[in-house]
């Protein structure tokens, strides 16, 4: 059995996230306290109690999701389940890549929290609210989604942002182009084409100012080689060199999240049979089953999930 740990991205956040862990485990409480201190903000109160509109702000959702994921990692470690011994690889969806790298020891927890706060603020500032949008195209393959984006562009930015799973591709760009793409996608046979409730057009060339901000921020933090290889969003291949990881994180801000290819690599060349999603929600577990129906998945985000996972490994 070969296992990879995966880490969720934006959209998985929910009010109450992490509270069960904080109530049950001192290791989880310590993670939330350290993140609060690093940010000079009571982020854990927003995670546990809301309000939802404040939690959904990009600059809050990103470090919050990371904190919840790392809390799971730390609790598992306290039970003798270390990442380096039980995972052959790590991978994370968009901001989840930072969670993965923190879990694997590339970044300290405090640095990861500050990087994600910077990333969230920079992504929000890159495009004025209302000028950018994202849409999910359901039922179209990647090539068809690219054709939709090209046809809808008409001089505006319109690009593939996330290749999440077969038949689930997200596009991103200028609002008029994304709105045009909805009708074009339906004409090309999409089952559904819908705008996403996001505040900025992530993972497209409009994010170039944010990419530059992250290049600066990443140049100023200490980075170690991860304890297990990272399967990077922009390459869908294994990385261990800190300089290459830094470059991939900068490219990731404007680049495509190649999640389908990443899971295909893990379950193919990587030899992974079991995918454990650490943190809030079950989005990645659902995507993994769509990408490879033979993969065994588990979502580990609550104290009950942790107990079940520990019991399974001990059996």
Residue of 94, 172, 211, 248 marked active site: 94
Give dist(CA 2, CA 34) in Å, integer: 32
The answer to whether residues 174 and 158 touch, using CB atoms and an 8 Å cutoff, is yes
Nearest alpha carbon to residue 97 among 169, 203, 19, 15: 203
Report residue 229: phi and psi, to 5°.
-60, 145
Alpha helices in 87-133 (DSSP H): 96-103, 109-126
Is 203 catalytic? The answer is yes
Residue of 99, 203, 211, 262 marked active site: 203
Give dist(CA 169, CA 213) in Å, integer: 27
Q: Which two three-digit tokens encode residue 137?
A: 């195209």
Give the number of other Cβ atoms within 10 Å of residue 216's Cβ: 11
Nearest alpha carbon to residue 164 among 259, 285, 254: 259
Kind and range of the H or E element at 196?
none
Q: Which two three-digit tokens encode residue 171?
A: 């596009």
Is 93 catalytic? The answer is no
Nearest alpha carbon to residue 115 among 90, 132, 95: 95
B/e letters for 6-21, b = 16+ CB within 10 Å, e = fewer, are bbbbbbbbbeebbbbb
Name residue 275's beta-bridge partners: 4, 297
Just list the catalytic residues.
Answer: 94, 203
């Amino acid at each position: 059995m070969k296992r990879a740990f995966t880490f969720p991205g934006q959209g998985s956040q929910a009010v109450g996230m992490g509270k069960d862990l904080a109530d049950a485990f001192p290791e989880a409480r310590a993670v939330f306290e350290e993140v609060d201190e690093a940010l000079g903000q009571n982020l854990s109160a927003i995670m546990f109690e809301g309000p939802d509109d404040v939690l959904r702000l990009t600059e809050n959702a990103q470090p919050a999701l990371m904190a919840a994921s790392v809390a799971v990692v730390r609790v598992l470690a306290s039970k003798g389940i270390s990442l380096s011994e039980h995972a052959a690889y790590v991978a994370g969806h968009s901001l989840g890549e930072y969670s993965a790298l923190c879990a694997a020891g590339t970044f300290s927890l405090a640095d990861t929290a500050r990087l994600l706060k910077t990333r969230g603020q920079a992504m929000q500032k890159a495009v004025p609210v209302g000028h950018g949008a994202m849409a999910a195209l359901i039922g179209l393959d990647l090539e068809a989604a690219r054709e939709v984006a090209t046809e809808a562009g008409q001089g505006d930015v319109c690009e593939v942002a996330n290749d999440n799973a077969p038949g689930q591709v997200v596009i991103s760009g200028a609002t008029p182009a994304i709105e045009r793409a909805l009708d074009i996608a339906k004409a090309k046979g999409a089952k559904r084409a819908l705008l996403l409730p996001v505040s900025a057009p992530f993972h497209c060339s409009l994010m170039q100012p944010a990419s530059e901000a992250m290049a600066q921020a990443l140049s100023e933090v200490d980075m170690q080689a991860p304890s297990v290889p990272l399967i990077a969003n922009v390459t869908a291949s294994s990385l261990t060199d800190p300089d290459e990881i830094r470059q991939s994180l900068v490219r990731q801000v404007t680049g495509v999240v190649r999640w389908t290819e990443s899971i295909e690599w893990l379950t193919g060349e990587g030899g992974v049979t079991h995918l454990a999603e650490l943190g809030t929600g079950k989005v990645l577990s659902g995507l993994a089953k769509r990408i490879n129906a033979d993969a065994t998945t588990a979502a580990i985000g609550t104290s009950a999930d942790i107990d079940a996972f520990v019991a399974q490994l001990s059996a």
